[in-house]
Amino acid sequence: MADYQYDVLIIGAGPGGYVAAIRAAQLGLKVACADGRETLGGTCLNVGCIPSKALLHGSEKFAEAVDGTFAKYGIKTGPVTLDLAAMQQQKLDSVKQLTGGIEFLFKKNKVTWLKGYASFVDAHTVSVNGETVTARDVVIATGSSVTPLPGVTVDNDAGVVVDSTGALALERVPEHLVVIGGGVIGLELGSVWRRLGAKVTVVEFLDQLLPGMDGDVRKEAAKIFKKQGMEIRLSTKVTGVAVKGKTATLTLEPSAGGTVETLSADCVLVAIGRRPFVDGLGLEKIGLELNKRGQIETGHDFRTSVPGVWAIGDVIPGPMLAHKAEDEGVAVAEFIAGQTGIVNHNVIPGVVYTFPEIAGVGLTEEAAREKGEVKVSKFPMLANSRAKTNHEPDGFVKVIADAKTERVLGVWCIASVAGSMIAEAALALEFGATAEDIAYTSHAHPTHAEALKEAAMGIGGKPIHI
Ligand code: FAD
Ligand code: NAD
């Protein structure tokens, strides 16, 4: 048997790769993880989930102080001003602490961090910074990068046309931010800069925001964001962006074609999706081909078509979410160690961290109806005592259940804490719960989670509070 330096080499230290590395080490394997970034944690910790949530949280506090929310509780403030540099610094502090935390966990679990970009020499050998490293099993966890918009040049340093990384690091509040793409990034980062004082216009190609989410949720979200002062331009495409000095001029037209118009802005955020990242990986050296969407295909056990090479996270099909990558990281390590890893790809919650939050798990009503007869029940947050007391009336919880068995097929919520509420729904789906199971489970009062119980009661036709 060949003699390898490591049992497992993981390429990429994002939520997929770093979790796989730690789990493999916990299972007694000798593990190395290559990543060329200055700090561990991948997109999520460095330029994704964590910095965006730090700015969302900070900007929410600022908005509460200036938009009259505090006043509703009888809290009087003097003039409130924004120290953007300090807000950006607290974001950097969070990123530093969390990426440093992964470095600590690597040391604790004896995972070797190879600091550099890896390129395949053969299926068991990669080159990192000119050094050759061998491993019995190699996991590709190289993540994703921003999808470019043809004809539009992003320059994060200039700060006029930016991608998500640039929009997280702006040193001034734009006067007018145009967001191209009404998806998760566009709405989260659009919310940050709207709250801090920018005029925000979101241009979305489709006829609704947030593709992939439940239809009711998409419609309600558009209403809420409009109420918050965002201008939403649906069924509209951007055909070009010309930059002159600090001003961008966008050319817009209806998605179906029609009259062209222009829009000027001092900042443009391109957020039309992300695509798998495999640049420089040398996949041709091991004969590993990508599918039509540029993804690496794997079996349910995350094996690629090349023996000894596995893949997880954003680089393979499925939602591009950190927790999906993490779950796959645990599972791939377990498979490599000869155990059975489990990821239920039908039960991966999705959350948009705007205010209110928007979350869902399982099937949308549209997808469920295509499969068979369903019962649907909606409970408004306005009728939930805690949401009402907290002055958070927007949103609802919607439960979709099989018409005959009342087994829960999907749950969608718009609520201030929808991201936390959806965990219960995910557990219910994972355990194959019926709506009655949720309805007869005691929920603490007064909590937002009671809205899920009431929506579940509605499937049987007996909610109490509406
Ligand atoms: P990544 O996190 O992309 O990590 C891949 C790593 O591989 C990178 O560090 C890269 O440097 C490294 N790499 C690439 N090629 C090589 C190579 N050849 N050699 C060595 N290293 C290499 N998801 C959520 O679930 N919740 C959120 O709130 C959320 N917010 C987001 C906000 C933003 C602005 C963005 C952009 C994304 C957000 N996401 C969120 C998505 C989330 O970041 C990704 O789904 C997640 O990071 C994917 O993990 P991964 O391990 O597959 O890849
Ligand atoms: P997205 O797929 O969520 O949204 C992109 C949007 O751009 C879509 O609505 C699409 O119709 C639209 N679009 C595409 N081309 C367009 C064009 N030419 N003009 C106008 N609109 C156009 O992608 P994203 O917002 O860039 O996010 C990328 C990924 O990052 C997502 O897969 C998401 O899962 C992940 N992410 C997750 C979170 C979270 O979990 N909270 C946060 C940020 C990012």
pLDDT score recorded for residue 461: 84
Does this chain's domain 6-145+275-336 share its CATH topology with 350-459?
Answer: no
Domain 161-272: CATH architecture, name and number where available: 3-Layer(bba) Sandwich (3.50)
Q: What is the pLDDT of residues 409-426, one digit of tens each?
A: 999 999 999 999 999 999
Kindly report the protein residue whose alpha carbon is nearest to atom 32 of ligand 2.
320
> SS3 helix, strand, coil % of the chain, rounded to 5?
35, 25, 40
In the three-class reduction of DSSP (H, G, I as helix; E, B as strand; rest coil), residue 221 is classed as helix
CA of 284 to the centre of ligand 2 (A): 29
Q: What is the pLDDT of residues 288-341, one digit of tens each?
A: 999 999 999 999 999 999 999 999 999 999 999 999 999 999 999 999 999 999
The structural domains of the chain, with segments of one domain joined by +, span 6-145+275-336, 161-272, 350-459
Q: Residue written as tokens 């919607």?
A: 398
**Residue type at 465?**
H
CA of 134 to the centre of ligand 1 (A): 24
Query: One of 300, 345, 391, 445 is an active-site residue; which one?
Result: 445
Q: Got the DSSP string for 193-206?
A: HHHTT-EEEEE-SS
Q: Which two tokens stand for residue 145?
A: 């990068």
pLDDT score recorded for residue 462: 84
Q: Is 359 touching ligand 2 by the criterion CB < 6 Å?
A: no
> Is 300 marked active-site?
no
In the three-class reduction of DSSP (H, G, I as helix; E, B as strand; rest coil), residue 43 is classed as helix
Question: b/e string for 33-43 if b means 16 or more Cβ within 10 A?
Answer: bbbebebbbbb
Q: Is 320 touching ligand 2 by the criterion CB < 6 Å?
A: yes
Give the number of other Cβ atoms within 10 Å of residue 130's Cβ: 6
Superfamily, domain 350-459: FAD/NAD-linked reductase, C-terminal dimerisation domain (3.30.390.30)
CA distance to 15, 20, 99, 114, per residue, from 325 (Å): 6, 9, 17, 21
Give the C-alpha separation, 98 to 117, whole Å.
22
Residue 378: partners with Cβ closer than 8 Å, 6 or more residues away: 216, 396, 397, 398, 399, 455, 458
pLDDT score recorded for residue 1: 58
Superfamily, domain 6-145+275-336: FAD/NAD(P)-binding domain (3.50.50.60)
Q: Which residues of the chain have pLDDT under 50?
A: none
